[in-house]
Amino acid sequence: MTASSRRIGDRYVLGPDLASGGMATVHLGKQLGAEGFHRIVALKKLHGRFSADADIVDSFLAEAKVAASIRHPNVVAIQDVVREGDELFLVMDYVPGLSLARLMAGAETVRKVPPAIASAVLLNVLEGLEAAHGAAADDGTPLRLVHRDISPQNILVGADGAGRLIDFGVARSAARLKNTREGLVKGKLLYLPPEVVEGEAHGIAGDVFSAGAVLWEALVGKPVFAAETDGAITARILVGDVSPPSRSEPSVSEALDAVVLKALEHSARKRWKSAAEFAAALRVAAPPAPAAAVRAWLAQECGPTLEERSGQVRAFEVAALPDVASPARASLGAAEELETRPKPRRHAAAYGTTALVALLVAGGAALLSSRLRGESDLREAHAPDANALATARVDAMAPAAPLEASVLPAASAPPSPSAGGASTADAALGHEAGVVGAIARPAALPRPAPSASAQKSLDCRVPYRLDSEGNRIYRRECLQ
Catalytic residues: 149
Q: Report the alpha-carbon distance of residue 132 to residue 282 in Å, rounded.
A: 19
**Which residues, listed in sequence order, are joined to residue 157 by a DSSP beta bridge?**
98, 163
Q: Is 328 helix (H, G, I), strand (E, B) or coil?
A: helix
Residue environment code for 325-363, b if the CB has 16+ CB neighbours within 10 A, otherwise e: ebeebeeeeeeeebeeeeeeeeeeeeebeebbeebeeeb
- Quote the strand ranges of 260-372, DSSP E: none
Contacts of 62 (CB under 8 A, 6+ apart): none
Task: Tell me the CB-side half-sphere exposure of residue 402, using CA atoms within 13 A.
Answer: 15
Q: Report the alpha-carbon distance of residue 52 to residue 388 in Å, rounded.
A: 56
Task: State the first-to-last Cα distance of the chain, in angstroms, to the nearest integer.
Answer: 67
Q: Report the alpha-carbon distance of residue 251 to residue 247 in Å, rounded.
A: 10
Enumerate the H helices of 268-345 as residue ranges. Answer: 275-285, 291-318, 327-330, 333-340
- Quote the strand ranges of 37-118, DSSP E: 38-46, 78-84, 87-93, 97-99
Q: Report the alpha-carbon distance of residue 36 to residue 295 in Å, rounded.
A: 32
Task: Tell me the CB-side half-sphere exposure of residue 111, using CA atoms within 13 A.
Answer: 16
- Contact, 95 vs 156, CB < 8 A? yes
